């Protein structure tokens, strides 16, 4: 049977997963639904809507993944289920 | 012998940084040497051969040095690949000939809509890391079907997973071998069919002796070549044009110039509204539904493709599996965020130095590609200034300058021609060819290994002969690898048009067949065996049905399954007049639909393109799994305990293979 420690670990893990899934949804889809509006803003020559799809979201994904690896490791250590 | 090998390889693992630093330095020195040879007057053709054969030889040496007689080394590189290096290997595994050569060209042609592919082929790694990869690593599988079989009651689930794996990997690997053939034939002047089998030799020598271990270390080497090759021409171009060696920053200026030039071309009659797709304007090629559907299918497909998932079986720990996904995406990002810069620089060059030019004063780089049939002006291959003049004169009322609608360019040319556009020496073109070859070879290696491993480990060892000794298992694995490779090379040498179009389908097939079972199997303990099997069959079946009907039996799709024409994203009108085509006896009899059939891949449900067919299959897979689980007995206590184990990084892997 699952111990209470494991259950708490899994609850936190699941919440972290859902948070990242939400951010993924935002940068993968939601922000690109506003391209026409965002394209009216120009930074360094880049229309913002174009920039988000070409670089911005990609950068967000990379940062998310490094962050996720750290956060999940912290959760694993907190509940003493991390590898040695 | 065995101990010698082990101590030798741990020396290697301890010195990875130094080994690959020396390798990178050696590669750069080689490029400089060839540049000097070029200045001394060595012909281009010789330089091309030196590039291709030197890099192939290096991969072959790595492949041979990494040979192994141990099962765990062969299947998962001994689970000793550090996160960073596994990230590089995944990067090379992931980025195919299509990414390297074709991506920038797609962005050139489609503008904003092409970014759906850039987004789709990167964002999926988030799903790999948070939903699937680390858990499969803890489980301890050799292959994805291994997990399916353990979690879902044995060999029936294993067999379905093997079928899904072979379906999505085989078309993909055929396209890679085709890609190596194209690059080798273009740069070495070899006959295409021969070039395919030369490429095949290059692939086999990397993977046959050392399996996953050899593929891993060659892929790291191939990543270094491909990223240097991809970035070099464009960094030089950016420095030349804007004084800053960061093309990803400077192409903003190019975008502004393109926008201004587009307006100017419309006003001066150099372009018609119909021929011009404004570069930054969204939803001209894909409807918003299809744009987001493609992103979604590519992302979820990434998290379901076996040749990618199995890369994370090779890390020393679950923690490193997670870090490794992050490194993978960083290395992939380096290429994908540069591709739009290639597209912008090339587009600006074409718009300012070709369109609107007097027919007599075209820059000569264009004719190199015209001779290969890759650039056409006024409907004819642009082989020379005279041919161009003659072709355009034949068009009534031609103004004598090249208009946008006169100009057709193959997407592959964008990356391959950038060195020439920038006026760089041939050595840079050779470098780009070597990079494209590295991209194609590395992806083909990973895919072949995925297919051969599924056949040798899952079908032969787990289903046919569970008592097979190690020696025989490895022998069977190698024989199957050669057979699959030959089959793929043979298919590629017949130049199958359909196979290439089907590569995009691989993601949908993987997504519909694997994703629901993987995610539910890990995240919902209550998922039962009958539910998973029913869900995989239903989801995968539905996806295959949609693909096959829309591509090969569109008439039946319209008459029996209520499909209608996809819509034109710009105007909202149907793409084809279905009623008219269906009344035409010529097209009714065209079953299965030929490439010329106006309905093929142009009909569907909800206006959904068949590239995103996974979007029809996957939700059905999830729904069936959930519903059937409600009516079947919960998985055993033992199985639930195993799932708890998978969820915790600490402890031994669930599946312990005897080696």
In a domain, B560, yes or no: yes
- The reported pLDDT for the residue numbered B6 is 47
Per the domain annotation, does B547 fall within a domain?
yes
Cβ–Cβ of B252/A62 closer than 8 Å? no
Number of independent structural domains in chain B: 1
Partner residue facing B336 (CB), from A50, A58, A68? A58
Residue B156 lies in a domain: no
Q: Considering CB atoms only, which of B115, B134, B317 is closest to A53?
A: B115
User: B341-366 pLDDT, tens per residue?
Assistant: 999 998 998 888 888 888 777 777 78
At B214-231, the pLDDT tens digits run 999 999 999 999 999 999
To the nearest whole angstrom, how far is the Cα of B88 from the nearest Cα of chain A?
A: 14
Put simply, the chain B residues between 259 and 298 with a CB less than 8 A from any chain A CB are: 280, 282, 288, 291-292, 295-296
CB B195 within 8 A of CB B181: yes
Q: CB of B652 within 8 Å of any CB in chain A?
A: no
Judge whether residue B48 has pLDDT over 90: no
Q: What is the mean pLDDT of residues B357-378?
A: 81
- pLDDT higher than threshold 90 for residue B316: yes
Q: Please report which confidence band the pLDDT of residue B658 belongs to, taking 50, 70 and 90 as the band edges.
A: low
For residue B483, give Cα distances in angstroms to B59, B64, B74, B486.
21, 20, 18, 5
| pLDDT tens column, B413-434 | 888 888 887 788 889 988 998 9
- Supply the range of the domain harboring residue B561: 520-647
Confidence at A60, pLDDT banded by 50, 70, 90:
very high
Name the residue of chain B whose CA is nearest to A63's CA: B326
Cβ-proximal residues to B593 (8 Å cutoff; 6+ apart), any chain:
B551, B552, B553, B554, B555, B599, B600
Identify the residue among A50, A78, A79, A80 best suited for mutation to test binding to B, counting B beta carbons within 10 A and taking the highest: A50
* Out of B118, B126, B325, closest to residue A24 by CB: B126
Average pLDDT (A7-17) is 95
Q: Cβ–Cβ of B123/A62 closer than 8 Å?
A: no
Residue B556 lies in a domain: yes
Among A2, A9, A44, beta carbon nearest to B249: A44
Query: Is B188 contained in some domain?
Result: no
Average model confidence (pLDDT) across chain A: 93
For A34-74, give the DSSP string: GHHHHTTSEETTEEHHHHIIIIIHHHHHHHHHHHHHHHHHH
Q: Does B253 touch chain A (CB under 8 A)?
A: yes
| Residues 169-198, chain B, touching A (beta carbon < 8 A) | none
**B2-27 pLDDT tens trace:** 334 444 567 778 888 999 999 999 99
CA closest to B248 among chain A residues: A55
Q: How far apart are the C-alpha atoms of B268 and B270, rounded to whole Å?
A: 6
Residues paired with A47 in a beta bridge: A42
Cβ-defined contact of B255 to A46 (cutoff 8 Å): yes
> In chain A, pLDDT over 90 holds for what percent of residues?
89
Least confident of A14-28, B66-80, B396-410, B525-539: B396-410
Which pTM was predicted? 0.93
Domain-located, residue B564: yes
Residue B275 lies in a domain: no
Residues 337-356 in B contacting A (C-alpha not used; CB under 8 Å):
337, 340
Spans of all domains in chain A: 4-78
Q: How confident is the model at residue B497 (pLDDT cuts 50, 70, 90)?
A: low
B148 found inside a domain: no
Beta strands in B401-522 (DSSP E): 407-409
């Amino acid at each position: 049977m699952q111990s209470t420690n494991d259950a708490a670990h899994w609850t936190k893990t699941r919440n972290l997963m859902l948070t990242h899934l939400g951010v993924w949804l935002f940068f993968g889809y939601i922000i690109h639904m506003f391209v026409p509006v965002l394209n009216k803003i120009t930074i360094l020559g880049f229309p913002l809507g174009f920039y988000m799809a070409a670089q911005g979201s990609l950068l967000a994904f990379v940062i998310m993944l490094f962050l996720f690896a750290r956060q999940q490791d912290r959760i694993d250590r907190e509940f003493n289920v991390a590898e040695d | 012998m065995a101990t010698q090998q082990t101590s030798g390889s741990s020396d290697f693992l301890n010195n990875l940084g130094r080994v690959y630093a020396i390798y990178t330095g050696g590669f750069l020195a080689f490029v400089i040497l060839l540049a000097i040879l070029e200045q001394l007057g060595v012909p281009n053709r010789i330089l091309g051969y030196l590039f291709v054969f030197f890099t192939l030889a290096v991969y072959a040496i790595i492949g041979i040095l990494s040979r192994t007689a141990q099962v765990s080394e062969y299947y998962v590189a001994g689970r000793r690949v550090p996160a960073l290096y596994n990230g590089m290997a995944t990067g090379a595994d992931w980025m195919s000939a299509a990414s390297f050569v074709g991506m920038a060209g797609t962005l050139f042609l489609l503008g904003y809509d092409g970014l759906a592919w850039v987004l789709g082929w990167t964002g999926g790694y988030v799903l790999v890391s948070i939903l699937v990869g680390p858990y499969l690593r803890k489980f301890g599988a050799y292959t994805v079907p291994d997990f399916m079989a353990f979690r879902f009651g044995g060999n029936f689930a294993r067999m379905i997973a093997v079928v899904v794996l072979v379906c999505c990997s085989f078309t993909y690997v055929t396209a890679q071998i085709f890609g190596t053939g194209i690059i080798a034939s273009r740069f070495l002047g070899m006959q295409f069919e021969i070039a395919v089998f030369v490429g095949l030799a290059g692939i086999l020598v990397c993977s046959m002796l050392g399996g996953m271990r050899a593929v891993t270390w060659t892929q790291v080497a191939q990543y270094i070549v491909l990223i240097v090759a991809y970035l070099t021409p464009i960094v030089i171009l950016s420095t030349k044009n804007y004084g800053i060696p960061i093309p990803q920053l400077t192409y903003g200026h190019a975008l502004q110039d393109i926008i201004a030039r587009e307006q100017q071309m419309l006003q001066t009659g150099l372009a018609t509204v119909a021929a011009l797709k404004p570069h930054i304007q969204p939803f001209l090629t894909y409807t918003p539904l299809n744009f987001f559907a493609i992103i979604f299918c590519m992302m979820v497909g990434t998290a379901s493709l076996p040749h990618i998932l199995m890369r994370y079986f090779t890390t020393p720990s679950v923690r490193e599996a997670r870090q490794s996904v992050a490194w993978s995406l960083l290395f992939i990002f380096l290429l994908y965020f540069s591709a739009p810069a290639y597209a912008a620089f090339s587009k600006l060059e074409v718009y300012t130095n070709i369109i609107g030019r007097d027919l007599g004063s075209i820059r000569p780089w264009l004719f190199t590609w015209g001779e290969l049939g890759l650039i056409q002006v006024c409907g004819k291959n642009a082989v020379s200034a005279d041919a161009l003049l003659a072709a355009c004169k034949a068009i009534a009322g031609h103004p004598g300058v090249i208009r946008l609608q006169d100009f057709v360019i193959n997407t592959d040319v964008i990356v391959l021609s950038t060195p020439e556009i920038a006026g760089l020496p041939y050595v840079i073109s050779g470098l780009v060819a070597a990079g494209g070859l590295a991209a194609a070879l590395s992806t083909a290696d990973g895919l072949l290994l995925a297919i051969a491993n599924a056949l040798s480990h899952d079908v032969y060892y787990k289903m046919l002969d569970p008592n097979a000794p190690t020696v025989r298992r490895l022998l069977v694995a190698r024989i199957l690898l050669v057979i699959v490779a030959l089959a793929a090379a043979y298919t590629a040498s017949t130049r199958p048009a359909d196979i290439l179009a089907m590569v995009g389908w691989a993601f949908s097939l993987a997504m519909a067949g694997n994703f629901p079972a993987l995610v539910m199997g890990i995240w919902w303990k209550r998922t039962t065996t009958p539910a998973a099997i029913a869900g995989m069959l239903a989801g995968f079946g539905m996806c295959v049905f949609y693909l096959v009907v829309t591509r090969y039996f569109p008439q039946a799709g319209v008459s029996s399954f209520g499909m209608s024409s996809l819509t034109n994203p710009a105007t909202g009108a149907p793409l084809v007049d279905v009623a008219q085509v269906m009344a035409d006896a010529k097209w009714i009899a065209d079953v299965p639909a030929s490439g010329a059939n106006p309905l093929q891949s142009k009909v569907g449900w909800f206006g959904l393109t068949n590239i995103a067919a996974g979007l029809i299959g996957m939700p059905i897979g999830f729904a069936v799994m959930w519903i059937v689980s409600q009516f079947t007995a919960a998985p055993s206590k033992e199985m639930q305990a195993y799932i708890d184990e998978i969820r915790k990084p600490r402890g031994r892997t669930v599946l312990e293979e005897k080696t």
